[in-house]
Structure 1
Amino acid sequence: MIQLHSIDDLDAQLHQLRETGHKIGFVPTMGALHNGHISLIHKAKSECEVVIVSIFVNPTQFNNPTDLENYPRTERQDIQLLEENDCDFVFLPTVEEMYPPNYVPKKIDLSLLENTMEGKHRPGHFDGVVNIVSRFFDLIKPHKAYFGRKDFQQVAVIKAMVKQLKFAVEIEVVETKRRPNGLAMSSRNMRLNEEELEQALIIAQVLNKGKTWSESYAPSTTLSKMKQYFEESKLELEYLQIVHPETLNDLNQYWVPGATACIAAFCGNVRLIDNMELVPNNENE
């Protein structure tokens, strides 16, 4: 695996690969890698000749400075994990390199996509996501880019960005990787103690309950039952919504294919998110 620390290094390597027609797969990360990230890399390896992983804790997508400060940074372990999983290149740029003084942020119309859930509770978050992902796409020009379904709303935003900015890249979404007990894998799990890891299981449990209830009840009733079930937990609920998979509009009376329950909650002072498709979307098959 080759480590790239500057845009010049990146350009030198990629120029040669593009000249020889290699298909490039890209996995953007903020480090603190876990098996969820590794599943993205394996998917990329199976579909592309060259896989590039970026490790960059992007300051512009954190609306809370404390959250940025506390975000786990495990670069040495991350690099070892990437080497063990046959990653071809890891790109480790600095903030100064990614956001030089002459950098002009890209703006797109996210409309409803940023006015609900993560966008509502983390103002400016998706502007930061659009900035960094578009910057990486400009620099790397991948054929395919890989994202985890756990960041459900982020995926919708990135798909909208690709469409509006006309990037020639395919977005591949990989199912959320979970522990055997159902807890979604997340870099933030590193900050939970054993008791909190146990308490956090309520998130996956309430989503599974929602999937069961969706077979018998309308979205509004299903959501009410989910919220009531969650009240028994020790976590602080930030939001719990059942939404359309593309518009992210709340569903009330009727189900649609791909209807998804999304949740954010605080376990201690650690914010966790998760989601689950409640109604099968046959288009995904």
Structure 2
Amino acid sequence: MKMNSKFAAALVMCALIGLAASEEVNGKPSGMAEPSVEELATRLLQATYPGSAELNEVPLLAGKLPDDMPVDLPIPDGARIIGSEIQEGKGIYIVLDVPLMPDQALDFYRKALPSQNWTETDIPGMDRGFVQGDPRITFCKGMKNPSLTVTAHPQENSTDLHIGISSDPDYSPCSQASFDDWLRPIPKLSAPEGSRQFNEMMTGGGNRAAVSATLETEINSSTLEDHYADQLNAANWTRTGEGQSGPSSWSAWSTEDENGLVWNGFLIALDLPGSENQRFVLVQASLEDN
């Protein structure tokens, strides 16, 4: 993973805390403009890397698309363009409100994009682990060309549509299209209804695969472990042990993949200390030694 998002967030938070402390001691700085919501959003989106002294510029365009679009993007009739984010050298991210249901919005792009030589592509591993619950499709023009990902978030009588156009092959999901299913044997794991999932992490390949996520939910760790255990069981995993200790619940598992290889794994759900409704979940599987 090229950017540690937690590291970037920590730097931003330290800066904000330092600013607050300075103002408490010295009062409001003179000669400085009042911070705006736009400035805050831009600062939070700026990516940084360990050892780098510079922040990348992340232009935000309210209510419009970039002038220099890398693709001819079709827009549904009646759509409201919320705005765009430009990640220099990496891609463009666009937010729309469209007067369609999520499935209808995705079907619009399934019909409109093939005429421009886009092909809907299944990306290995993208349907495994703690995946986002909202419908998503990815289009490719080959491994080294831009990718286009459409995610549909349901709203009342409309859809919040997020479109990501990746212009850097190193960041494009299309470059993974020929890879083996690197998160095997972990199945798709859907979050409980009404929860919010974030901080997804995944690693895989070879003889081990692991996925984790943080959830905001009123469900405690014990009930959350049961929720994901049911999904592992439905994916033909067999429970071999279980337990609970304080804020954590866990279970041990075994499964055989489509190649006849046996994997041993575990599931952990943890109530995060200091946060009333945040939980951490982790699933890991390791290939059994012969």
> RCO higher in 1 or 2 (8 Å CA, sep ≥ 6)?
1
Q: TM-score normalised by the shorter chain: which range applies?
A: under 0.3
Relative to its length, the structure with more strand (as a share) is 2
TM-score, normalising length from structure 1?
A: 0.28
